[in-house]
Structures are given as structure tokens and as C-alpha cells.
Structure 1
Amino acid sequence: MRTPMTDEKSVATPNEDAATGNTSGYRLDLDGLRGIAIALVAIFHVWFGRVSGGVDVFLTLSGYFFVASLLKHVIATQPASVSWNRAINPGPRLWRLFRRLIPALFLVLAVVTLLIALVMPKTRWGPLGAEVQASALYYQNWHLAFQSQDYAAADSAISPMQHLWSMSMQGQFFVITMVCALLLGGLLKALARRFEVLRRPTVIRGIVGGTLAVVALFSLAWAQYRHGINQPFNYYDTVARLWEPLAGGLLAVWMPRLALPQRLRTWLGVGALLLIVTCGWWIVGVAQYPAAWALVPVGATLLLIWVGSPQTAATATGPTPTSRALAHPRLVWLGSIAYALYLWHWPLLIFYLNWRYQDDVSWLEGTGILAVSLVLAWATTRFVEAPLRSGRGGGSKQYRRILVLALVAATVVSAATVTIWQRDAANATVDTLNLDPRLYPGARAYLYDAGVPNVPMQPSPELAPKDWPITWEDSVTGQFTDAPDRIRSGVYGDPTATRTIALVGGSHADQWIDALNIIGQRYHFRIKTYLRVGCALTTSHVYTWFGRKYPECNEWSRRVMAQLAVDKPDVVFTNSTRPAEEGPGDYVPSDYEEIFAQFRDRGQRVIALRDNPWVSAKLKPPECLATGRKPQVCGVDRDRAMSPVDPTIAIAGKYPNMTFLDYTDGICNDTYCPAVVGNIVVYRDFHHLTATYIRSFIPQLETDLQRSLRWW
């Protein structure tokens, strides 16, 4: 007979086998709750693209079962004289966790590795290889958290392993909890030699519960605090997530003993279940969890555990209708394959979308994906998880040996493949400085009608994402993590020259440094940079990047403007437009005009360049090209990306100190802005130009600078 306290299989994940019957204390309704949770996760992922709250249910159940199991071994099954450390004994527990979690995970990762090679463009092999490694070693949540802050990786498409962040977080929770339990047990053991009271189960329970409560409250406070500072990082942060499984652990320690009328238990259960099922619709989980709003699915889960427990049942009353409904055999079966279903459904969805070049699926396609996921989840549970987890009942010893050898072989091959991908990605470099302009005219093909011979494009689509400005090699471009009072600066062109152009703004000003550097060396002027990613010069508007507001840009802009007043460069080079936030085309933000007015009032000369066309974030030209598609379908319609007329024409008369440039005709033809022009790949992501393509503008930029500055 099994109970939640002793069932080691119920420790952590959606991977819980259903009981064969409702025997002493075993909670079939919690198996059914897992079934509901995994159904919500999969359905919301496949059809609605939202966070359902199902993962938060899993986290809460994980903490409940894991802490309950630890307490059962320490308090209920061991005499007071046995040491805490011996009772917990991490070796067998870690081995059981390993047998339960690793085989299915590594099987899925091996299949994912194969599908990456078959379906994904080579541009993504290196980054996805890093995610395979992060998922296998249980730090995927941290990998995604730091990637969400990395401007260089911010354009990466959704990963087929993104969902594994929760597995990583739970694995970290198990290890952290077990280590802390051992440390606390060692301390109590030492103190119990002098204080007999520390051997009493009620005292041990109080100490454990109090410790869990302190950590849980700190974690919740941290999640709420970080929510308003850096929500994308906060979403994956283990510290911010710990309170969810710890809330379940606290219920295992201090299950309230309060007999309730059957009707009240029923209504509380129905209400809690409704909250779990519906919260995905009225809470934007990605933007709100794991802060205070996560209390809804977590609290509802705790309530279902409590009202379905004997502690709330009056004498001779049976399970509530809610518990009986959750214990339905089909829900219990779904709960038994929940771990494998969680592992399979997301990669199948993402690979299908990439294979079909789609952003979402129809009801028929989604049904097919879920059906295949269910079959794979059942097979994985039946033929991989069960035999290796229990060591019995899943086939002969010979079968288990063959299965282990097959999994080890797949793991070794996957690891070798990932290592090669990462090595190739790390060693790959862009070498396009000396391209023959007769073979690779780039922008000159549009601006000067230069001939375009039939030669391979440069850089290759696989290398285009690495074709960054030289400022990034020198680390002189400010990053999101910089303090707002930090102004990074570099000097290019002719460092000894007396004339200076200040290159100022965000990454769309930064990308022009490669052309300016060569022209500066040629005509003996220097370029001093004042750059920070995502921070075009602004006054009051607060930019939002990757789900977080960046008021640091405003402070940085004020400091840069003050520094320019001191440095007094001969000319400021910056951007003049941005893409329209709603609707097609581009425009001049009011903040830009306020900055332009400050330059005018100072008597500062300015050259302002119209921003380049942005492609849709869902279509990244290098990846599109890497799949073999034509450049004519890997770009963007001109009338969608750019306004029919340069918006600066309407304001130019107000700023006689400024020269406005527009190079749209060097990127687009009359109707389309393709991914390759003049045999050069135009974009390194969906909105930045490659450094190679920027250099193809040198003849035109040189002419325009000479006309404006008269320096040569």
C-alpha cells in the first residue's frame, strides 16, 4: 500500500503512475489533477500560445510530494534515535530520481538532436546545441534567463527545448532541498545530544516548516520585487520560483486538521478546479508569473490537496464529487503519462511549425500534434520509464539491458553531435573584408546599377548572424546590463585627426561604424562612438525590450547629451526615424525631434540617417535563406517596412543644422526589400544589416559626407 508520504515516484514531476486502486491513503484525485494540468499545458501551448498555469500546478505538487516523502522517512518510519542524515540518505534517493527522470529526458533530447539536423537551418545548430546541453545538465532555465538579457541572442526563435526550463528548475529544487535537509539534519543531530526536545517529531516538523516558510516568503518577495525590474529573467529564475514547490512542501508539513461539511468541501474543490482551468485565460502568465498572480494556480492546487484529504473529511464521509471526478480513470491515465507528454508535445509543435514555415497551427494540425504526442508519451512511459524506474514489471532483464545500451548509445551520439555544433559555431568567423566589388556589389547593384554575376552569396547564411560591427569586437558598445551612468566609447578612423564625427545612439547607429571607419581612415577624420544597445537618443519615451521597460536609456541619453556638449565633436551622426509601432512604415518620434532641437539650439552639426527596413521578427532572413528559400521571399515588402516618402522631408526645414540621408533605395527595389542584394546577405537578423552589406554603401556614404562636410 502506498501513500503520498512514501511513494517515491510521486516526488516531483508530471511523471506519476496511477495507482491500481484507491488503497489506503493513495490520492487518485491528485493523479487526475496531473492529468488536468498536462492537458492545460499542452492545449494552451498548441492552440493558444499562452501559459495555462499547469506548470505551476506541477511545481506545487512536486514540493508537496517531495517534502512529504522526506518527512515520512524522518518522522514516521524512523525511531527517534536514528540520525537525520541516515534517514534521508541522499544516495538512494538521487538514484531513484535519476532512473525516473533521465531516461525519458535523454531519449527526447536524442530525438530533438536528430530533428534539429533534419529540420532546422544550420544557423541555429550551434545555439540549439547549447540548449541541448543545458537541458541535459538541468540548467536550461538559467540558460534561457541569461539569453533573455543577451542582445546578441535576443532575436533567436523559440526553441524546441524551451519548455524544459521547468524540469531544470525542479531538478535544482530537489538537490537544494536535499542538501539543505542534510545540513539541517546534521545540525539538529548535534544539538539533540544536549537538547532531547529536538528528537520529538512535532519539534522537528516545526523547525522544518518554519525553515521552509522563511525561504518561501523570501522567494515570493523576491519574485514580486524582480517582477517590476526584469520580468523576462524573473520568469526563469530559480530563486523567484522556489516558493511554488515550497508552498506545496509547507502543506505537507502543516496540513490543517479542520473537518468541513461535505458540501463546503465540494464547493471549495469546484472553485479551486475552476481557477486552475480558467486562469490561463485571464492571467497573462508570461508577464505575471511567478509573482503574486501565481498564487492563483498555486493556491488552488493547495486547496484541492487539502479539501480532498482526510483532514477535512467529517466522520464516515467519503471523497467529494470533485475528488471522484479527478479520480476518473482517463484522467488518472493521463496523469500517469504526464511527464513524457510534457517532454514530447512542445518539440513536436516547434519542429512542425519550422517545417511548415508557420507561426501557428489549425485545429486539425493541433489535434494531430497532440495525438502523436499522446502515443509517444504512452510508449515512452510503457517501454522506457516503467522498466527502468522500477526494475520489474516492464520486461525481462535482457530487455532492460538492451534499452539501457540503446539510450547510452543515443546519448553519446547526441553529445558528440552537439559538441561538434558548438565547436563549429565557436570557430566560425566572417571574412568578407576583401570581397571583390565586381563580384559582390551589394548596395551598389541598386544605387549604381552595378552588374551582379552568378556567384555564391557572402557571408553564408550560417555566418551572417555573426557579421557584427567592429565595435562589438572591441566591447565599446554599451549593453543592457550597464549602469545608466556608464558611457562606453571607442575611437575609429584616424585616431590622430583633429576633426571628429560622433557616432551616437543605439545598435542601428552602431551598425554604420564599419563604413565610417574606412572612410575616416581614408580622409583623415576620427569617429568617436557613444553607443548603447536599444538606446537611441530619447527624452521622455521609455523603451521596452524583451518584456522589460528600460528607463536606463533615458538617463543614458541625458548623460550622453551632456558629454557631447563638453566634447564638442564637429559632427554628430545618428538615426532620424524608427519603424511605426502600429501599422506599416516609419516615422520621426517626438523624442527624436526634441533631441534634434537641442542640437539645433547648440549650433551642433548633425547627419541623420533614415533607419533601414525591418523584416518581421517571425521571419529571420539568414534562417530563411539557410532553408534554401529564395531571397525574394526572405525579406519584406517595401510599403510595409517604409513609408512612401522619407518622414524627415516634412521636418527638415526646422533644422538647418542637419543633413538627412535616406539609403532605402540601396536596400529595396521599387516593391521589395530582399534578403540578398548584389550577392551580399543584407540582414544578420530581422532588423540589423550585416557589416559586409554596410561596407557596400561606402561609395554612396563617402559622396554624401563630402557634399555635407566639405572636408576633402
Structure 2
Amino acid sequence: MANPAVSGAGKSESSGKAEAPAYRTDLDGLRGIAIALVACFHVWFGRVSGGVDVFLTLSGYFFIGSLVRHAVHSQSSLIGFGETISPWPRLKRLLRRLLPALYTVLVVVVLLTIAIIAQTRWLNVGREVIASALYFQNYHLAKNSQDYLAASSANSPLQHLWSMSMQGQFFVGALLVLLTVAGIIKILGSHFELFTRAAVVRAIFAVLVGSAAIASFAWAQHRLHIDQPYNYYDTLSRLWEPLVGGLLAIWMPAWRVSTRIRSAVTVAALIVIATCGWWIDGVAEYPAALAWVPVGATLLIIWSGQVSPGQDRPAVNGMLASHRAVWLGGLSYSLYLIHWPLLIFYLTWHGTDHATFVEGTAILAVSLGLAWLMKRYVEDPMRGGGRSSITHVRWRSHPRVTYPAILTVVLVAASAGTAGAITAWDRHISGVHVDTANLDPALYPGARALLNGVPVPAVDPQPTPLAAASDLPQTFFDGVMVEMDVTAPSVGVYGDVNGSKTIALVGGSHTEMWLGAVDPIAKANGVKIVTYVKRGCPITVDENPAYLERVPYPECYEWNLAVMDDLLNTKPDAVITNSTRPAESGPGDFLPQGYITAFEELTSAGIPVIGIRDTPWPHNDQGPIDTPNCLSGGGTATSCGTDRASALSSVDPARSLAARDPLFHALDLSDGVCSADFCPAIVGNIMVYRDPHHLTQTYVRTLIPELERQLAEALPWIVPPPAQ
């Protein structure tokens, strides 16, 4: 959210005596409406509203307007060059307004995380605390492709702070750039009288701000169809929204329009702002062209309420300036900080992904009360003498000890302690090594408990939930797994590097996870393994496959073209890949046409294809299950497991292709992961999944005999394992 703490309606930020426009209490009221929309849409409707875009526009209007007024005023000979370009007065005010409330929330979030959230999530939350405190949370989320969707217990309690980080970056960037330009104009003005004129100074800033806004909007529109999850968080894409607000501050159209028309404009704009969250999917469309809907409506409200001397303010703008709306607008910063983590912690504690209407109402009421306390006892005192009398409390024996001073010491100490605790936990987790390669098979039979009925003694499962996340294929540690933004293949070599036969392991992470079983089988059979693996990218010829997690994903298509060319040129003795995906809607799994076409292209060239059926993606009625988190939170092998029929069709969908193509072989290891009707989270004392849908390498290794048996049926040069 754009920070309402620094978008006070009409308050001049100038260190000089530049004349500021009349105080706009109606825009304080607009902030109140915006925060109400943001909170209600999050809590009740699981959608994003246009409220954040309203705040961004208002912030640009006030902040850039203040800087431009300062630049105009600084052309006076009474204002020195140092005072013209010094960012410290404004930066100091920004820090005093932003950090106390933010850091208070971050400290409380850490405490509630320890109390409520499973240990397996502590590291991620801790890293987001650091990212939020240092104002790069938006890029942290963008890098991890965390879509800003409906709230659930799996969401981060700090996910909403992406907009705080984006706006903090905007403030600092605008401050440095515009003050530098003001300094250059100051120098030019000492030589050329033209540059001392207010109209010229404003024109220079208008060109600069307008050009940057156009470039940012073009970038946002371009990235919309390339990488929208990243685009949503990207400061460069969002920048145009506060910049167009700044343009309005530089040049406000002085059109002589009747009060009645201005009122109608305000009413229409408010309706648009209030409803656009319903008819625009902001996560999928913002900050590209459709973001002009809430942004443009905000600009219209600013314009319609700006009246010349002697003009009456439109009645609707007067309603926006009502006491209750202005009061809510004053709480907007704290309310935004508090409502989302309170919602996420409640959902996590209650074990649900959605709040009922009554629960949502209670969350909003508690958030409002906490926001008032935050403003009264943290925001106002630390801003340097708000209306809070507590700011001026002094003790007789220590006349210089004030409440803000004590609060500052407490916040600094708490923040430092929190940062230290996060760092210590980070180091602890980095020292948690997975050493499960040599588990006693009698104690940890894993898949053999399902496949061979091996008895399962009562011992603690392995790996532990904390260690499971790092129970990864060797390709991860070797750096040959290609990231999403890379299109060139990176080939890893495993198995018997001097083997007479070559198998290519090709696809996304659901192919990569089988390396723990394929590698030892290859070594035992004198087979060389070459890997072509890319994150989130299976073999497919579809240019924009709808079944991928990231759409559009042009890098996947380009990577596939390069990999297919390489395979057809090198002609490995076989290709191993995954053959199915979870059904796009409803239960079961399916074989995408894009896979089939790619498989047939390889088999037509004489290359056998081994298609391993994808394992079930754990889920229940409430959505996906992150197995380590579920178990760490007190779940069991059953409560964290999945009904087989909901995840797998009764017959492997790839069998029909195998029946008509003799070089395609469908392998199905589902019976090594599930019983006839259920897929437990723990099998044979081994945790099956390391996250919402990837097998642990520890469990994969227990499937070696079964995979080797099925491979031997498909490839004559693989020796079957001894009978169990």
C-alpha cells in the first residue's frame, strides 16, 4: 500500500517557506475510503481492491508537489545551494513517520510467528521481516513468484508489505533525483534569469516526471504478458502511478467547471474506486492499462475538489471531509500494517483458509482498535508532537527523558533483538544437514512398506520437517537446474560417466526429483545420465501451456526448442521424463497434448521415451498441503495425506499412448507412494514430500528397486533387481 503516513493532505514538506495549497481534508477522507476497501476486500472477499492504487496516486501528488514547490522556492537568492539539494530534512521526517509503526508490527509478527506458525516457516517469515525492514519486500516476493491472491493460512503475514517497500523506494529515488535537478536548476539560475522563473522550473519537472511516467507505464504494459507475477511487484512497473499524481500537482487544470459537474465527477469516481475490485482482477491486470481505472478516478477526485478562491467546494468532497472519514484516513497507515498479519495469524491458528463474515467483521474491528492504539502511542509521539499529550510527559528526576525517547530505545532494542534472533535461526537452519543416505532399511523401509508389506517399527520419521526442505536432488547443489528466466540448457552428467549407454533426464523439477533413484541405477548398469532440467518446465511443444504454474512462460518454450534440437542431434539411448500432471479441474491426472506431441517427435526419431507418471500433489478440501509444515504444525501421516482418487485417475493416462507407440513406455510408481485408496504423508517412517508436491530424495531412494524393475521391462540393457 502506498504509505498514507507521508501523504498528508496538503501538508508541505518543504524546508523553506514555499506556499502550499490549501489543506485538503477531503483527500484525508479519500484515504479513509481507500483503506476501508483494502481491508474489507482482503478480509471478506479474498481479492485486491483499487485502494493501493489510490494511495500511490495520492502519495505522488503530495510528495512530488512538495518537492517541486521547494525547487521553485529555492530559486530565491535567500536559499543556498546546500539547502536546495539537502535530502536530510525530508528523509528524517520520512524515517520518523515510517519506521516506528512498521518496526513495531515486525517485532510483534516475529513473536506471533513463534507462537502460532510451524517451525518450517520461520525461516521464510524471518527473511521477509528483514526484507520488509529494509524496504525490498516487493522484490523478495517477486523473485519467489508469490502471487498476491486471496488470503489463506499458507500466506505470509508480511506479504502485504510489498507496497510499503515499493513506495519507500519511490520516496528515496524521487527525493534524490528531483533534488539533484533542483540543484542543477539553481546553478543555471545563477547564470540565466530564465531558470529562476516558476513556470520554467515547473515545466522542467513536468517533462522529467512525465517522461519517467510514460516509460514506467510502457514497461508495465510490456511485462504484463511476459511475467505478470513479477510485474505486479516491480517498482519500475508501479512507478507511473505516483508519478502521474505528481504531474497533477505540477500542473492542475484550471478549468472553470460548475460545482454541480464537479460533484458528479467525484460521485462517479468514487463509485469506480469502490467497485473496480469486483470487475477487475487486479493481480492479473495491475499495474498495466487497467490500473488507470482507480488511478484516473483518484486524479479526478483531486481535480474536482481543487477550487479557486471564491468557489464553493463540491458537496460530495465536503462529505469526504467529514469527521469520520478523516479520522479513518488518519488511521490508514497503522490499519494497513495491522489488518493483514492479524488475518493470517487468525487463519493459521484456527486451521482454516477463509474467514466467515462474522470472523472477518471481528478481525476488522480488532484491527481498527489496534490501529488507533498504534497511532495514539507510536505514530503520533514519534512524528514529533502530534496531538498526543503523552509526547510531552517528563519525569522530575530526569527532565530530558520523554516518552518518544523511551519508545525509541525500546523499538531499537526490540528491533535489534529481533534481527539477532532471525540471524541465529537462519544460521541454525543452514546447519541442519540431511544425512539420510544410509538409513537402516529395517527401521526405515519407506516405499517397501507399501510395495512389499515390510513391517514398520516405531521410530521417529526421517527426514525431520526442518531438514526436509533441503533434501534435494544433486542437480540443485551442482547448479545445473536452469532457473525460470534462462533459456539456454545447462547439462549435468551423472551415473557412469564412461557408460556405453546414455539416458537423458529431461523436464522440470518433477523429473529432476527422480535423479536420486536414476543415478544409482545407471551406475549399477554402466549407463551415463545427462540432465536437462529447468524449473517449472516439463517437455512440451506448447508455446503457452495453460497447465503450467507460470503463464505466460516464453522462456520454457524457448528452452524446450533448444533441448529438443540437442536431443535429436545427440540421440541418447533413452529419455526419461514425467508424463502426467494433476487435472486442471476436478480429481485425477491427465496427459497434456503438448507432452504427447513432444514424445512422438522423439520416438519418431528412434529415441525411446520413458514417461514416469507424476506423483500425487498433496491436498485436501481446503487446498494444497505443504507436508513439512503440516507435520510440524502437529499433523499426522493421515491428516497431512491425500485421498488417492482425488489425485490420481484409476488408470495411468499415459497407458493409451504406450499402447499405440512401441517406443513410449509408461512407468507408474503410484503404488509405492499410495495404498489402494490413500496417499499418506509418511510411509515406512520416511517423510514422502519435502514441500507441497516434490518427493524427498530420502523417499525416492526407497523406490529404486521398483523403478529399476519397471525400467528393465522397458529397456533391455537395464538388469532387473533381485527378487525382494
What interval of TM-score do these two structures reach, taking the shorter chain for normalisation?
Answer: over 0.9
Aligned to 2:89: 92
Output aligned runs, 1:651-670, within 5 Å.
651-670=657-676
Secondary structure at the counterpart of residue 607 of structure 1 = strand
1:469 aligns with 2:469: no
Count how many residue pairs are aligned between Structure 1 and Structure 2: 691
One-letter amino acid of the structure 2 residue matched with residue 463 of structure 1: A
Deviation at 1:346, TM superposition (A): 0.4
Asked if 1 retains the 8 angstrom alpha-carbon contact of 2:227 and 2:553, the reply is no
Deviation at 1:475, TM superposition (A): 1.4
1:583 aligns with 2:583: no
**Aligned match for 1:540, one of 530, 542, 548:** 542
- Residues 23-59 of structure 1 show CA distances to partners (whole Å, capped at 9, x for unaligned) of 9922111110000000000000111111101011111
After superposition, the Cα gap between the structure-2 partners of 1:76 and 1:182, relative to the gap in structure 1 and judged at 3 Å, is: closer
Asked if 1 retains the 8 angstrom alpha-carbon contact of 2:71 and 2:201, the reply is no
Aligned to 1:404: 408
Aligned to 1:210: 207
Aligned to 2:135: 138
CA distance in 2, matches of 1:192, 1:641: 72
Aligned to 1:283: 280
One-letter amino acid of the structure 1 residue matched with residue 524 of structure 2: R
Q: Percent identity?
A: 51
Output aligned runs, 1:47-446, within 5 Å.
47-76=44-73, 79-83=76-80, 85-87=82-84, 89-148=86-145, 157-311=154-308, 316-391=310-385, 393-394=387-388, 395=390, 396-397=393-394, 398-446=402-450
CA distance in 1, matches of 2:614, 2:29: 54
Output aligned runs, 1:559-638, within 5 Å.
559-616=562-619, 618-638=624-644
Asked if 1 retains the 8 angstrom alpha-carbon contact of 2:339 and 2:367, the reply is yes
- Residues 302-322 of structure 1 show CA distances to partners (whole Å, capped at 9, x for unaligned) of 1101110114xxx74422121
**Aligned match for 1:528, one of 530, 540, 543:** 530
Deviation at 1:568, TM superposition (A): 1.9
CA distance in 2, matches of 1:242, 1:156: 31
Aligned to 1:687: 693
After superposition, the Cα gap between the structure-2 partners of 1:87 and 1:191, relative to the gap in structure 1 and judged at 3 Å, is: closer
Asked if 2 retains the 8 angstrom alpha-carbon contact of 1:613 and 1:687, the reply is yes
Secondary structure at the counterpart of residue 528 of structure 1 = strand
Secondary structure at the counterpart of residue 340 of structure 2 = helix
Aligned to 1:512: 514
After superposition, the Cα gap between the structure-2 partners of 1:107 and 1:59, relative to the gap in structure 1 and judged at 3 Å, is: same
Aligned to 1:458: 462
Aligned to 1:489: 491
CA distance in 2, matches of 1:85, 1:252: 25
After superposition, the Cα gap between the structure-2 partners of 1:596 and 1:92, relative to the gap in structure 1 and judged at 3 Å, is: closer
- Residues 502-559 of structure 1 show CA distances to partners (whole Å, capped at 9, x for unaligned) of 2122211111111111122222211111222222211236235555311333333333
Secondary structure at the counterpart of residue 23 of structure 2 = coil
Normalization by structure 2: what TM-score? 0.92
After superposition, the Cα gap between the structure-2 partners of 1:92 and 1:429, relative to the gap in structure 1 and judged at 3 Å, is: same
Asked if 2 retains the 8 angstrom alpha-carbon contact of 1:502 and 1:572, the reply is yes
After superposition, the Cα gap between the structure-2 partners of 1:212 and 1:493, relative to the gap in structure 1 and judged at 3 Å, is: same
After superposition, the Cα gap between the structure-2 partners of 1:392 and 1:306, relative to the gap in structure 1 and judged at 3 Å, is: closer
Aligned to 2:36: 39
CA distance in 2, matches of 1:603, 1:465: 39
Asked if 2 retains the 8 angstrom alpha-carbon contact of 1:12 and 1:63, the reply is no
CA distance in 2, matches of 1:475, 1:552: 18
Normalization by structure 1: what TM-score? 0.93
Asked if 2 retains the 8 angstrom alpha-carbon contact of 1:84 and 1:185, the reply is no
**Aligned match for 1:549, one of 538, 549, 552:** 552
CA distance in 1, matches of 2:82, 2:144: 38
CA distance in 1, matches of 2:707, 2:699: 13
CA distance in 1, matches of 2:196, 2:162: 39
One-letter amino acid of the structure 2 residue matched with residue 363 of structure 1: F
CA RMSD for the aligned pairs?
2.2
CA distance in 2, matches of 1:88, 1:547: 44
One-letter amino acid of the structure 1 residue matched with residue 635 of structure 2: R
- Residues 348-383 of structure 1 show CA distances to partners (whole Å, capped at 9, x for unaligned) of 011111112211110011011111100110000001
After superposition, the Cα gap between the structure-2 partners of 1:346 and 1:12, relative to the gap in structure 1 and judged at 3 Å, is: closer
- Structure 2, unmatched stretches of 5+, are 12-19, 395-401, 720-724
Deviation at 1:487, TM superposition (A): 1.6
CA distance in 1, matches of 2:476, 2:281: 35
Asked if 2 retains the 8 angstrom alpha-carbon contact of 1:145 and 1:236, the reply is yes
Aligned to 1:8: none
One-letter amino acid of the structure 2 residue matched with residue 677 of structure 1: V
Secondary structure at the counterpart of residue 480 of structure 2 = coil
Aligned to 1:677: 683
After superposition, the Cα gap between the structure-2 partners of 1:602 and 1:16, relative to the gap in structure 1 and judged at 3 Å, is: closer
CA distance in 1, matches of 2:596, 2:40: 47
- Structure 1, unmatched stretches of 5+, are 1-10
One-letter amino acid of the structure 2 residue matched with residue 543 of structure 1: P
Secondary structure at the counterpart of residue 631 of structure 1 = coil
Asked if 2 retains the 8 angstrom alpha-carbon contact of 1:80 and 1:200, the reply is no
CA distance in 1, matches of 2:410, 2:259: 52
- Residues 183-206 of structure 1 show CA distances to partners (whole Å, capped at 9, x for unaligned) of 112211222222111111121111
- Residues 561-614 of structure 1 show CA distances to partners (whole Å, capped at 9, x for unaligned) of 232222222222122222111111012222222233233322322322111111
CA distance in 1, matches of 2:697, 2:599: 27
CA distance in 1, matches of 2:325, 2:235: 30
One-letter amino acid of the structure 2 residue matched with residue 621 of structure 1: T
Per chain length, whose mean CA-contact separation is higher, i.e. which structure has more relative contact order (CA < 8 Å, sep 6+)? Answer: 1
Aligned to 1:650: 656
Mean CA deviation greater in 217-226 or 611-620: 611-620
